[in-house]
């Protein structure tokens, strides 16, 4: 596989897509950093991974969710006891729209 090179055209496209306005110095640094990333990926691609199962985690994962069980119920009166004001079983708040 041919080595990928970050050139000025690629940098212009990245700037447009990311809505960036880089100075020449920032563009040069970003170009170098992006090239370093691509070089690292190329280095990783040199590894022999034949017979290795792809994984998303280093350990097996199972469903860690639990059933959603309501424990406090609907105790509206207790909740309204905490309200500064209530009216007809609802919270009463100051009017915000005129």
Range of the domain at 18: 8-39
pTM above 0.75, yes or no: no
Give residue 83's Cα distance to chain centre.
37
User: Is residue 21 a part of any domain in this protein?
Assistant: yes
User: Is residue 90 a part of any domain in this protein?
Assistant: no
Q: Are 90 and 83 in contact (CB under 8 A)?
A: no
User: Is residue 26 a part of any domain in this protein?
Assistant: yes
User: Is residue 32 a part of any domain in this protein?
Assistant: yes
**Count of structural domains within the chain:** 1
User: Is residue 18 a part of any domain in this protein?
Assistant: yes
Cα gap 10→13, rounded to integer Å? 5
In this predicted model, what pLDDT tens digit does every residue of 57-95 receive, in sequence order?
777 777 778 888 888 777 888 888 888 999 998 999 988
In this predicted model, what pLDDT tens digit does every residue of 31-43 receive, in sequence order?
999 999 999 998 8
User: Is residue 48 a part of any domain in this protein?
Assistant: no
């Amino acid at each position: 596989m041919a080595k990928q090179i970050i050139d000025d055209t690629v940098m212009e496209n990245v700037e447009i897509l990311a809505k960036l306005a880089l100075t020449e110095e920032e563009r040069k640094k970003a170009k170098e950093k992006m090239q370093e990333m691509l070089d690292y990926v190329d280095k990783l691609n040199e590894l022999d991974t034949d017979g290795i199962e792809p994984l998303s985690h280093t350990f097996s994962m199972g469903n860690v969710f639990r059933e959603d069980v309501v424990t406090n119920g609907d105790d509206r009166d207790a909740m309204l006891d905490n309200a500064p004001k209530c009216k007809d079983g609802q919270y009463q708040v100051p009017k915000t729209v005129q």
